[in-house]
Structure 1
Amino acid sequence: MPIWKGKAKATLYKVHSYATITGTFSAILHAMLLIVDTYMPFSWKEVLVPFAAENDPLWNGLGSLALYGTLVIILTTDLRAKLNKTLWRIIHIGSYPTFVMAMIHGIEVGSDSQSPLMYLLYVSTFGILLVLLIVRMVIGRKKAGAYLADRG
């Protein structure tokens, strides 16, 4: 968000990075625990190959795709300085559909999805994401308009 500057921006970037890495490690741990789960065990193939799960292949496949999407986003962020800025931005925008896939996966096959607290978590995180996306789009349009006006 270009509206934040200085220390505030640095702090928010650290929080963003921490949340991304923590969420990714949690997702990897989640996938690994499915292998040893005795109630509903998954094979490595079911975890690693999207839509290969015996139970709810669509919803579990979205979870696998979301994990892969997150890994690509993290990897390309680490390689940001070596990538074309436009390419990096296009890949990073993939975080929005990746988040939505993970959320749908959780809603549809999560063992705690019926909990009112989890429902509130899904609704609030989606709402926050939507508000931030709209704010970012508005800022992007204003910046593009100012850029074109300066060149015009």
Structure 2
Amino acid sequence: MLLTVSTVLGIATRSGRPAPGLPRFAVAELHRNVSLLSAVFLALHVGLLLFDPYAMLRLFDLVLPFVGEYRPFWQGLGTVALDVLLALVVTSLLRHRLGRRTWRAVHWAAYALWPVALVHALGTGTDGFSPWFLTVAVLCVLSVVGALFLRREVRV
């Protein structure tokens, strides 16, 4: 859900439109902070899985997708999402040295990160197809699609 909020805020930041009750710079700051919080929770998720005997996650599973022992395809999608997120974090930390154009080119990968992470959650999670999780997933999809639609409306 944090990745969804981060994605929606990132789309809102690019739209140039302030959120209700927030100036544009506040939306950008909120996006940065939620993105950082997402990265922290992802680090906790991955770190704890290293100690989970059921998932059997190994260190190289964190960087090499589709070689895991537990649901390799779905776990591999999580690895791809993690690798993309790491690239986004590193380039964001080095943004002032990379230049806007390079940073922006890498940052476009966030549009791939979000659906890959969502599909990973659906396929790997033990609650992936439970009604409550599917409801949350649908709400996340509707939020991102709605943000994209509103961004399109601003540009037209």
TM-score of the aligned structures, taking structure 1 as reference length: 0.80
Corresponding residue for residue 90 of structure 1: 105
Larger relative contact order (Cα-Cα within 8 Å, sequence gap ≥ 6): 2
Report deviation, 1:123: 1.1
Which of residues 131, 135, 139 in structure 2 aligns to 1:120? 135
1:3-152 equivalent positions in 2, closer than 5 A: 3-4=17-18, 7-140=22-155, 142=156
Q: Is the 8 A contact 1:47 1:53 kept in 2?
A: no
Matched-pair identity in %: 26
Q: Is the 8 A contact 1:53 1:61 kept in 2?
A: yes
Report deviation, 1:138: 4.2
Runs of 4+ in 1 over 3 A off after TM superposition: 137-140
C-alpha RMSD of matched pairs (Å): 2.1
> Any stretches of 5+ residues in structure 2 without a counterpart?
1-14
List per-residue Cα deviations over 1:2-42 (Å, max 9, x = no partner).
12289522322232122211111111111111111123322
TM-score of the aligned structures, taking structure 2 as reference length: 0.78
List per-residue Cα deviations over 1:54-103 (Å, max 9, x = no partner).
22212111101101111211222232233333332222121111011100
Distance 1:52 1:67 in 2: 15
> Any stretches of 5+ residues in structure 1 without a counterpart?
143-152
Corresponding residue for residue 10 of structure 2: none
Report deviation, 1:53: 0.4
Distance 2:73 2:127 in 1: 18
Corresponding residue for residue 16 of structure 2: 2
Larger radius of gyration: 1
